[in-house]
Amino acid sequence: MRRIITFGTYDVFHVGHVKLLKRARLQGDYLIVGVSSDELNFSKKGRNPVYSLDNRMEIIGSLKFVDEVFVEHSLEAKRQYILETKADVLVMGDDWVGRFDEFKDICEVVYLPRTPSVSTTEIIEVIKEIE
Ligand code: C2G
């Protein structure tokens, strides 16, 4: 059984997230998703997520192509998460290309192309403009 791990905030869940997770699952047989804590998202993006961690975990955990979810508390703990979950492959969108190559000693590292023209930031901007 080939175990896949991926990480993300998945705030304001959208089709780019769906496509990434579906393609991640196709890399193997079992998909584990680390969902960023609110604090980690703040440190990455400088804003609090719109959806709470609990809601984001519930959305991701209810997808048929996701087998397991856990909370990602820290970017620095990635090696530990990969080892603890016994992941064979780390999958990330290509906005992170090269950033996780250091884990090639413990798993395969695959970067998948991002879906163009959709992002949480853009969705938030569009909603702000609606009066
Ligand atoms: N994604 C995508 N296409 C988009 C938007 C996002 O393929 N149009 C992918 C990203 O590349 C990422 C995943 O969806 O692999 C989740 O995206 P984010 O929630 O933005 O993830 P991020 O906050 O970058 O967290 O440890 C790493 C992180 O926690 C990644």
CA of 93 to the centre of ligand 1 (A): 6
CA dist 7 and 91 (Å) reads: 8
Residue 127 near residue 29, CB atoms below 8 Å: no
Q: Where are the domains of the chain?
A: 3-130
The residues lining ligand 1, judged by C-beta closer than 6 Å to any ligand atom, are 7-10, 16-17, 20, 36, 44, 72, 75, 92-93, 95, 114-115, 118-119
Task: Return the DSSP state at 51.
Answer: S
Mutate to test the pocket of ligand 1, among 19, 20, 41 (most ligand atoms within 8 A of CB): 20
pTM of this structure: 0.96
In CATH, what number does 3-130 get?
3.40.50.620
pLDDT of residue 131: 72
Rounded to an integer, what distance in angstroms lies between the CA atom of residue 29 and that of residue 4? 8
* Rounded distance between C-alpha atoms, residue 40 and residue 45, angstroms: 9
Note whether 95 and 17 are within 8 A (CB).
Answer: no
| Per-residue pLDDT in tens (0 to 9) along the chain, 131 residues | 999 999 999 999 999 999 999 999 999 999 999 999 999 999 988 989 999 999 999 999 999 999 999 999 999 999 999 999 999 999 999 999 999 999 999 999 999 999 999 999 999 999 999 97
